[in-house]
A and B are shown apart, each in its own frame.
Chain A
Amino acid sequence: MTDRGSSATTGGSAAPEIRRGEDETPRLSAAPGATAASSRAHITRVSGALAEAGPMPEASLYELVRVGERQLLGEVIRIAGDTATIQVYEDTTGLRVGEAVSLTGSALTIELGPGLLGATLDGVGRPLRRIAEETGDFIQPGATARTLDASRRWKFEAVVRPGDRVSAGDVLGTVEERPGIVHRIMVPPDQGGAVARVRSGPFTIDEPFGELADGTPLRLAHRWPVRSVRPVARRLRSHQPFLTGQRIFDLLFPVAEGGAVVVPGGFGTGKTVIEQSLAKFAAADIVVYVGCGERGNEMAEVLNEFPRLTDPATGRPVIDRTVLVVNTSNMPVAARETSVFLGIAIAEYYRDMGYRVAVMADSLSRWAEALREIGARLQEMPGEEGYPTYLGNRLGKLFERAGRAEVAGRPPRTGAVTFVAAISPPGGDFSEPVTQAALRVASALWALDPALAHQRQFPAVDWETSYTLAAEQTAAWFTGNVGKDWGELRRDTLVLLQRDRELRDIAALIGPEALQDRDRLVLEAARVTREVVLGQSAYDPNDERSPIEKTHRLASLAQALYRAGLDALDRGVPFQELDVAAARHALMALRGAAADRMEELAAAARQAIDDLGRRKAAA
């Protein structure tokens, strides 16, 4: 339900002095005490997710407000004269003209500190479990739940001493947030000075464990405006690949740590399965999973599954390294827009501790649609497909927040935020504005194809359209750590697939039987490559995660099969006599092998490949 143009109440169209921030830096009103002056401020209009209120002469753009008797959370997004337009993060049904509105004096912030790991937050940072305690099985507006648990005591170990001079980002001490996961307590970005007092011991997030000389208390948590970029000392180029555990990505389309990937695909092509597989198996210290405008059951699945899965790198439950941010498709639209910022801000915070963080956003299209919905209600001039004209700009700034960096403060440390964004293009057509805007700023494209999904070729990644800009940059790591032949293997696999595509086009016209033997071998070898190397089932417990060595092994064997076939043909063995079926079978068995049978089945596959052209001879 958006505004119609005819009404006299239409906000702002002819109003003077519209301040609308295109930059995301919140401009805060000076004194929190100023709220008293606007105590008469009340709702003058409500329509959809937007409310107008006045008089609010002291309101600032992006300032957080409390709307109505139930104190719904909202954010000022436009000011005209002394009327503020507010996007409300909660269901506005029942909100009345005349109800009071109050300013909070701060922008939308997230409370950063120990206790985030394992949490499930809504789009504005409230833990959904606590909301359930307040409002039951179905979400009702007005819940006040605070992000972090203020009653919990954390064992803090100070690493600084009174008299030390500290500045933004310096590590003051640590707490063990989850077993084996150290949470570094840092000087917040805007603070610094001499440490006056500091003490180790158990503290809640509200109890100061120390104080700076100027009287600033030191606490385990601080607040940060989610739309603001957290500063770093220096951005770094990355040579380390972000290992996903998915063969097709690690082998053909690797990204570097700190990269940003877009994963567009029509419905049912496997975006969510990819995002979840990465959340479970990718080599990251911390994962922030943002379910933005998607399904409630998918979130239930994550909540059900993640506590039971172990992170192979640490042996700990996967949930221990995960923060979930959830705004399902039936939750308020305005909070969909903030959910992605919230996720990124949390990721930057753990990056600042020196961690490698991965952010999964599913789906960025819903984020963009939220911008569009709000823009339409504000009666902004629409751009392409109705999206606001600043879509590209906003999206660019979001992607900019990914990266590897030397973080601020001592001791020196580096961290990274890798960003993997699913995109849901209407009709699966990539020419639409969100996909296009994302491609301009992404370092890799993993394009999903409905035709492959219908054939159950999963992950349904279209290897002809997909690309990465990080192949060169990560090549040395792969040759140094996995195999010297990595570069050739990657190239040979791509060449084989390319040749296969050309031949299949021809075969469709003349029939495969009419092809030359060498070409028929290409078709078979490519088929094995598709099935065994690129194909990977998320439902096979032995293959849902492919360690990089396994990826290397399977890709090498597929190439070995091809070469063995060529050799046999060269020796004069006709194609029909190559026992490709046996080799395929052996490789398939290896793909699904349990860890303890891997060597045995690898030997069997090798043998089947050696025997490829020998059946006749042996018989």
Chain B
Amino acid sequence: MSLVSRSYRGARAAAGPLLYLGATHRAALGETVAIDVPGRPALRGQVIDAGEEVTVIQVLEETLGLPPARATLTLTGEAATVAVGRELLGRIFNGVGHPIDGLPAPVGESIRPIWGAPMNPVRRVSPADFIETGVSSIDGMNTLVRGQKLPVFSGPGLPALELAAQIVEGARAPRGEPFAVVFVAIGITARETQTFLERFEKSGAMERSVLYLNEARDPTIERLLAPRVALAQAEFLAFEAGIHVLVVVADITHYCEALREIATAREEIPGRRGYPGYMYTDLASIFERAGILHGHDGSVTQLPILTMPDDDITHPIPDLTGYITEGQVVLSRDLHRRGVFPPVDVLPSLSRLMSAGIGRGKTAPEHREWSNQLYALYTQGREARLMATIVGETGLAAADRRALKFAERFENEFLGQGTYRRTIHETIELGWKLLETVPREDLLRISDATWAARRQAGGGSPP
């Protein structure tokens, strides 16, 4: 696109975050607009509807008190970009990439458009490398794999951020390869940010991290930019600098609310529960930026966090997210109340890329059967618990009673590991220990070969 910049005096109208400009010369969709009002800091905007007679500009910052008639609008001919590079590691920025750590703005190794472009599916490498998070309910039951997008579905007041912090601190790349964290805060409170920052500093994670913080009091519109600015940086680290990047985004719910707010301001026809009809596509343009590419050493893995309004998993935010991501880790209010940390409900949780990341040479040869069996027994135990509330434990069949006991221990010992970091081998071993509390005939998912191998390795209950 040509670089001629064109300046116009005064917008014709303004509504919410939108400015309406009259006839412009060759406006381009998506080009950045500089908005200057005498006596105010310059604002940025973006063309979202380019027309011969009217061009609509979405202001990317707070428009409160903006006098449209006195603004000078300059179409820059460029799409929104941001400086990216390794030098950003250890730094803190706001949602649009301006430093807020008191240091000067980075020059960057490259200037990247924040909107990104879709990876060509034929250039993608199928994710298959195990990431050890140190959390049993993830490593053992819902394994995270490099290049995956695996969200945490939380509820109001549940410790999702604590779990995320634990993962960030505990995550290890399999062969000790270069590893970095990009953390994006969207609309979270200053206190939450502070807690997270302190943990980052204390654990030494800060120096391999880049933080983008959009706090609750920051402009709504910046919430839409923050994850994209961060992903531009993550993509650079992964595909230019060969680093394995874990992107943590908290909280996607605030992102979606911002999207709804802006759609409403634009007077769009609302979709389910007021969220715009294109929210699926919009979220996909964030989540699909996870992945691995042929010929590049690094990877982008995403761990977005979202809060399910009313703990309702069918709410459009978790629903659409679940339709895009490669599984989900679901937190349970019930486990949280009982003091289990991390309170992961493994039944609705899922890692779709698990199979590719586990097994011989990666985790343990019997990992699939082992986790299938834990799932089966735990499901049976949970059903038995439900039934026991009606008919009493004595009304249960013997196998159901055993499963119920197993479920208790599974929740308290296996899931409830506290802040201790378990290696995958500790996780597998603990799982076996719990499985071996029931007779062999209850372990239908464990094949004879696996059972024999286990017995030979010294485990297993006596005949």
Give the CA-CA distance A563 to B293 in the complex, in Å. Answer: 56
Find A300's partner among B124, B281, B391 (CB 8 Å cutoff).
B124
- 24 A–B pairs (Cβ distance < 8 Å), ordered by A: A2-B276, A4-B266, A7-B20, A8-B54, A9-B49, A45-B51, A47-B48, A98-B26, A128-B120, A137-B239, A138-B116, A268-B350, A296-B119, A296-B124, A296-B291, A329-B284, A373-B277, A426-B272, A426-B314, A429-B314, A455-B379, A507-B387, A509-B390, A539-B368
- B residues neighboring A (CB under 8 Å): 1, 15, 18, 20, 24-31, 48-56, 79, 115-127, 147-148, 239, 266-269, 271-272, 276-278, 280-281, 284-285, 288-291, 293-296, 314-316, 319-320, 322-324, 326-328, 347-348, 350, 352-353, 355-356, 368, 372, 375-376, 379, 386-387, 390-392, 394-397, 400, 441, 444, 447-448
Known contacts A369-B277, A510-B391, A511-B391, A137 near B323 by CB under 8 Å: no
Docked-complex contact B326 and A97, CB < 8 angstroms: no
Give the CA-CA distance A592 to B25 in the complex, in Å. Answer: 69
Give the CA-CA distance A331 to B117 in the complex, in Å. Answer: 9
1/0 contact string of A451-471 vs chain B (CB within 8 Å)? 001111000000000000000
CB distance from A319 to the nearest CB of B (A): 13
Docked-complex contact A95 and B121, CB < 8 angstroms: no
Give the CA-CA distance A272 to B323 in the complex, in Å. Answer: 11
Known contacts A428-B314, A511-B392, A267 near B319 by CB under 8 Å: yes
Docked-complex contact B117 and A139, CB < 8 angstroms: yes
- A84 near B: Cβ within 8 Å? no
Docked-complex contact A129 and B122, CB < 8 angstroms: yes
Task: Count chain A residues whose beta carbon lies closer than 8 angstroms to a beta carbon of B.
Answer: 90
B375 to chain A: which residues have CB within 8 Å?
455-456
Give the CA-CA distance A454 to B50 in the complex, in Å. Answer: 47
Please classify the interface of chain A as helix (H, G, I), strand (E, B), loop, or mixed, using the class held by over half of its residues: mixed
Find B51's partner among A44, A453, A456 (CB 8 Å cutoff).
A44
Docked-complex contact B52 and A97, CB < 8 angstroms: yes
- A34 near B: Cβ within 8 Å? no
Docked-complex contact B269 and A128, CB < 8 angstroms: no
- A residues neighboring B (CB under 8 Å): 1-9, 44-47, 52, 91-99, 120, 128-129, 131-132, 135-140, 266-268, 291, 293, 295-297, 299-301, 303-305, 326, 328-331, 333, 366, 369, 372-373, 376, 382, 385-386, 424, 426-429, 450, 453-456, 507-514, 531, 537, 539, 581-582, 584-585, 588-589, 592
Given A6-B15, A98-B52, A297-B126: 5 more A-B contacts, CB < 8 Å: A137-B293, A296-B124, A299-B121, A300-B121, A450-B348
Closest to A537 in B: B372
CB distance from B62 to the nearest CB of A (A): 20
Closest to A520 in B: B397
Q: Which of A297, A299, A330, A508 has the most CB of B within 10 A?
A: A297
Q: Which of B121, B387, B396 has the most CB of A within 10 A?
A: B121
CB distance from A153 to the nearest CB of B (A): 24
Known contacts A296-B291, A330-B284, A331-B118, A5 near B391 by CB under 8 Å: no
Docked-complex contact A8 and B390, CB < 8 angstroms: no
Docked-complex contact A510 and B395, CB < 8 angstroms: yes
Known contacts A511-B392, A512-B400, A300 near B125 by CB under 8 Å: yes
Docked-complex contact A2 and B126, CB < 8 angstroms: no
Give the CA-CA distance A69 to B212 in the complex, in Å. Answer: 36
Docked-complex contact B124 and A299, CB < 8 angstroms: yes
Give the CA-CA distance A511 to B53 in the complex, in Å. Answer: 74
